[in-house]
Amino acid sequence: MISIKSKTEIESMKKAGEIVAVVLEKLNAAVKPGVTTLELDRIAEEYIRKSGGIPSFKGYKGFPGAIDYPGSICASVNNEVVHGIPGLKELKDGDIISIDVGVYISGFHGDAARTFPIGTVSEKAEKLINVTRESFYEGIKKAVPGNRIIDISSVIQDYVEKNGFSVVREYVGHGIGKEMHEPPQIPNYRTREKGPRLESGMTLAIEPMVNEGGFNVKLLDNRWTVVTADGSLSAHYENTIAITDKEPLILTKLS
Ligand code: MF3
Ligand code: CO
């Protein structure tokens, strides 16, 4: 069952989304050579708690055999696709970092991710970051009542592939609300299932994960961190959005 949110519930989700947006802005300003991903995690957790929120990811149950997620953010560097665990590794000039943030407040979650360049990055890395963001904006154009999930998925896939990159298959976007992960799944590629029809009041996390090389990924021994199978770079862009009778709303942004 896909939950439909009232106008007031969407306002509550905006509150979570705004905290997410501020955290991403703070982290964008903080990323530079020499900074560790654990330091970024501390900045995020401190601001989220000061705002009265709870980091959605902390303590999240993973695959069997994995520890509960220890971070407040996911920090995935270079060939890491998603779910990089914050740690003592220092960022260096030329790296790219994908940061994913989730906040729970007033009964609802907000979830968003960005990829940032560290210092000067290659032209190809810059293009990867831009194409990933742009593919989200292609997708959200289709997030209107009457369309289906596959309408979002198809335009994201086409845009990414037209630009010479590939979309990850194993991990997908999702419905979001009282739970961080709710139905429906939102693949970033065409599937055999067309997916449900979109209705006003649905809230979705659309999150293309885009690889420079092939779309295959593998899971590291920590059973969290996902990396590209061919070692190529990967970028991530995610917002929590609400379907309305008019234009879709991006909830993970500053109002
Ligand atoms: N934004 C990611 C997602 O939607 C983050 C989940 S990280 C986890 O799945 F630690 F909470 F699993
Ligand atoms: Co998400």
Q: pLDDT tens for residues 68-85?
A: 999 999 999 999 999 999
Mean pLDDT calculated for residue range 85-110: 98
Contacts of 67 (CB under 8 A, 6+ apart): 222, 224
Identify the sign of the CA torsion 161, 186, 241, 146: positive
Tell me if 32 sits within 8 A of 61, measured CB to CB.
no
| Pocket probe mutation, ligand 1, options 76, 104, 111, max atoms within 8 Å of Cβ | 111
Mean pLDDT calculated for residue range 95-118: 98
Sheet holding 209-211, edge to edge: 166-167, 209-211, 234-236
Tell me if 176 sits within 8 A of 111, measured CB to CB.
yes
Give the percent of the chain with pLDDT over 70. Answer: 100
Sketch the domain layout of the chain as residue ranges: 7-250
**CA nearest ligand 1 atom 8, residue:** 57
Atom of ligand 1 lying closest to residue 171 CA: 9
| Pocket probe mutation, ligand 1, options 23, 54, 73, 83, max atoms within 8 Å of Cβ | 83
Q: How many helices (H) and strands (E) does the chain have?
A: 4, 15
Q: What integer best gives the mean pLDDT of the chain?
A: 98
With a Cβ cut-off of 6 Å, ligand 1 is lined by: 57, 60, 69, 74, 83, 100, 102, 111, 113, 174, 205, 238
CA distance 40 to 57: 15
- Give the CA-trace dihedral at 178, 180, 182, 184, to 10 degrees: 130
- Ligand 2 center from residue 227 Cα (angstroms): 17
Give the model confidence (pLDDT) of 17-40 as tens digits: 999 999 999 999 999 999 999 999
**CA nearest ligand 1 atom 7, residue:** 57
Give me the helices (H) in the chain, please.
Answer: 7-30, 37-50, 123-141, 149-162
CA distance 124 to 103: 32
Mean pLDDT calculated for residue range 128-136: 99
Give the model confidence (pLDDT) of 36-66 as tens digits: 999 999 999 999 999 999 999 999 999 999 9
Per-residue model confidence (pLDDT) at position 255: 81
Band of the pLDDT at 228, cuts 50, 70, 90? very high
pTM over 0.95: yes
- Ligand 1 center from residue 57 Cα (angstroms): 6
Per-residue model confidence (pLDDT) at position 191: 98
* Residue 189: both structure tokens together: 């590629």
| Per-residue pLDDT at 133 exceeds 90 | yes
At 80, is the secondary structure helix, strand, or coil? strand
CA distance 146 to 110: 24
Mean pLDDT calculated for residue range 224-253: 98
β-sheet bridge partners, residue 203: 242
**CA nearest ligand 1 atom 5, residue:** 100
**CA nearest ligand 1 atom 10, residue:** 57
Q: Does domain 7-250 have CATH number 3.90.230.10?
A: yes
Give the model confidence (pLDDT) of 163-201 as tens digits: 999 999 999 999 999 999 999 999 999 999 999 999 999
